[in-house]
Amino acid sequence: MLRFLRQNLLYSLILILPVSCKTYQLTNAKPVSAPNKTVENLYFSSNEDYVYKCQIDIYKNHVSGILIIKKLNDTTHRVVLTSDFGNKLIDFEISDNDFKLNYVLPDLDKKIVINFLRNDFQQLLKRQYPVNESFENDHSKIYLSKVENKSYYLFFNKENNLLKQIIYTKNKKEKIDFTFDAKKHIFADSLNLQHKDFKINIKLFQITETE
| Interacting residues of 25 by C-beta distance below 8 A, sequence separation 6+ | none
| pLDDT value of residue 157 | 96
pTM above 0.85, yes or no: yes
| pLDDT value of residue 95 | 96
| pLDDT value of residue 209 | 52
| Interacting residues of 103 by C-beta distance below 8 A, sequence separation 6+ | 88, 90, 91
> Domain range for residue 181?
2-208
| pLDDT value of residue 155 | 98
Strand residues in the chain grouped as ranges (E): 30-32, 38-40, 50-58, 61-71, 77-83, 88-94, 99-104, 128-130, 133-136, 140-147, 150-157, 163-170, 173-184, 187-195, 200-208
| pLDDT value of residue 36 | 80
| Interacting residues of 97 by C-beta distance below 8 A, sequence separation 6+ | none
Side chain identity at residue 132, one-letter code: N
| pLDDT value of residue 210 | 47
Handedness of CA 16, 17, 20, 23 (dihedral sign): positive
φ and ψ at residue 78, rounded to 5 degrees: -105, 135
Number of domains the chain is built from: 1
CATH code of the domain in which 52 resides: 2.50.20
Q: What is the mean pLDDT of each run of 10 residues along the chain (211 residues)?
A: 50 54 84 88 95 87 89 96 90 96 88 89 95 95 93 96 96 94 95 90 82 46
Q: Find out whether 6 and 149 touch, Cβ atoms under 8 Å.
A: no
Element housing 162 (H / E): none
Report the alpha-carbon distance of residue 190 to residue 184 in Å, rounded: 12
| pLDDT value of residue 85 | 87
| pLDDT value of residue 200 | 85
